[in-house]
Amino acid sequence: MKNVTISTFITDWEFLKNSYFWTPRGNSSDRKREEKRLSQKLIFSRNKHRIVAEILVVCSCKNYYVTKTIFVDGIQKNIRYLKKLVS
């Protein structure tokens, strides 16, 4: 899992929104490499609020499974929260 900037995280969030229709190619090691490449975590503080944003990608033999979460002080938010921080 890699750490990234806020703008990169938003771009990758949008890129993965249609991943439900993707099919992994290759063998098990290729799928694990793809999971590591696409999964990412962003942890930072802004205005005394702790923000944890995560994209978790799991590749099975036939499907991509993507879980995307954003928590601000333990309360779940959506991508619009991060977009407001960048603008």
The pLDDT, as a whole number, for residue 49 is 93
The pLDDT, as a whole number, for residue 21 is 76
- Contact (Cβ atoms closer than 8 angstroms) between residue 32 and residue 84: no
pLDDT in tens, 72-84: 999 999 999 999 9
Asked if the model's pLDDT at residue 19 lies above 80, the reply is no
Three-class SS of residue 29?
helix
What is the Cα–Cα distance from 39 to 29, expressed in whole angstroms?
15
pLDDT in tens, 21-72: 788 888 899 999 999 999 999 999 998 999 999 999 999 988 889 999 999 9
pLDDT band at 1 (very low <50, low <70, confident <90, very high): low
